[in-house]
Amino acid sequence: MTIQWFPGHMAKAKRQVTEKLKLIDVVIELLDARLPYSSQNPMMDELVKDKPRLVLLNKEDLADQSITKEWLRFFEQKEFKALAVDAQSGKGISAIPPACQELASHIIRKMKDKGMKPRPIRALIVGIPNVGKSSLINRLAKRHVAKTGDRPGVTKAQQWIKTGGGLELLDTPGILWPKFDDQLVGFKLAASGAIRDEILPKDEVALFAVDFLRRAYPQRLEERYALTELGDGETVQLMEEIGRKRGCLKGGGSVDFERTSDLILNDLRSGKFGPVSFETPQDFETE
């Protein structure tokens, strides 16, 4: 379920995250490894300020490994600690508690200097809907933690979850909105399945997807739909060819673009083109 983000919801979500930030030592910012820039909340820096931050690139199983490595380097150059993880299978998860301990080493040192036994480091997971926050909490908790629902207004008593390794988590994640102001970001979010299909016209999202695949992964596009040559014609013609090849036709024999769009988007989201990354750090070098 994806939230409809109205200004009132955004204000409330921001307030809730700000309140939760007061309780914790480290922020765990969850991004989609396929689109780390586009899956980031636009207010993140402003909200987190100087709090130590661990960047996690989740769904790394769906992303292009070599591009994920570039993103990890990109975040490290910005002096963020960053890890690639797969919250579904659990890959990379064991590196999270030690990374949080390292980020909060000054807090641990202070407690030791005062002669106290260090308490576990406290963290909050923050991210846009569908990025994998609940999956990550369940993985770290090693059990199923009930989801409060993707409604920023829903509140309940905060609980701490022990994960082992000297880390505790708030049981409810911080849910924030994605970047909406940039059309390209919207198309990437929609093509990857991060936002609901009703938000942007599906045929336009599919057209974007084919256009992206023909530029970034031409061979995989050719192979998947047995296309002989991508050529340099209009992308809509390619879509038509795909529709014809796959028998997505209307009664009169013309191509059914609705069905063709569904086919392409389902293939993309379920990994039929192999691991795919929608953006690289170089895409943003000029910004």
Min dist. Cβ of residue 119 to ligand GDP (A): 27
Q: What does 130-194 look like in DSSP terms, one character per residue?
A: TSSHHHHHHHHHTS------S-TT------EEE-SSSEEEESSPEE-----S-HHHHHHHHHHTS
- Comparing CB distances to ligand GDP, the nearer of 111 and 154 is 154
Supply 85's token pair: 């993880």
Q: Is 192 in the site for ligand GDP (CB under 6 A)?
A: no
Alpha-carbon gap, residue 109 to 92, rounded angstroms = 26
**Cα distances (Å, whole numbers) of residue 121 to 99, 107, 167:** 11, 8, 5
Alpha-carbon gap, residue 125 to 53, rounded angstroms = 10
**Which residue is at the shortest CB distance from ligand GDP?**
132
Min dist. Cβ of residue 129 to ligand GDP (A): 5
Q: Is the dihedral of CA 169, 140, 278, 9 positive or negative?
A: negative
> Which of 120, 150, 152 has its CA nearest to residue 132?
150
Q: Is 135 in the site for ligand GDP (CB under 6 A)?
A: yes
Min dist. Cβ of residue 132 to ligand GDP (A): 3
- Comparing CB distances to ligand GDP, the nearer of 59 and 214 is 59
- Comparing CB distances to ligand GDP, the nearer of 35 and 242 is 35
Of 125-133, 151-159, 179-187, 257-265, which part binds ligand GDP (CB under 6 A)? 125-133
- Contact (Cβ atoms closer than 8 angstroms) between residue 192 and residue 35: yes
- Comparing CB distances to ligand GDP, the nearer of 29 and 241 is 29
- Comparing CB distances to ligand GDP, the nearer of 101 and 135 is 135
Backbone φ and ψ for 118, nearest 5 degrees, come out as -60, 130
Q: What are the beta bridge partners of residue 125? A: 28
Q: Is 61 in the site for ligand GDP (CB under 6 A)?
A: yes
- DSSP 3-state assignment of 5? coil
Largest CA distance in the chain: 81
Among 36, 97, 129, 174, the residue binding ligand GDP under the rule CB under 6 A is 129
Q: Is 130 in the site for ligand GDP (CB under 6 A)?
A: yes
Q: Count of residues binding ligand GDP (CB under 6 A)?
A: 16
Q: Is 197 in the site for ligand GDP (CB under 6 A)?
A: no
- Contact (Cβ atoms closer than 8 angstroms) between residue 59 and residue 130: no
DSSP-derived letter for residue 283 is: G
Of 85-93, 98-106, 238-246, 249-257, which part binds ligand GDP (CB under 6 A)? 85-93
Q: Is 64 in the site for ligand GDP (CB under 6 A)?
A: no
Backbone φ and ψ for 221, nearest 5 degrees, come out as -65, -45
Among 9, 12, 42, 88, the residue binding ligand GDP under the rule CB under 6 A is 88
Q: Is the dihedral of CA 151, 137, 21, 85 positive or negative?
A: negative
- DSSP 3-state assignment of 27? strand
Q: Is 275 in the site for ligand GDP (CB under 6 A)?
A: no
- Comparing CB distances to ligand GDP, the nearer of 134 and 277 is 134
Binding-site string for ligand GDP from residue 147 to residue 186, where x marks contact by CB under 6 A and - marks none: ---x------------------------------------
Among 40, 58, 68, 277, the residue binding ligand GDP under the rule CB under 6 A is 58
Alpha-carbon gap, residue 69 to 50, rounded angstroms = 25
The residues of the shown chain that bind ligand GDP, judged by CB under 6 A, are: 58-59, 61-62, 86-88, 127, 129-135, 150
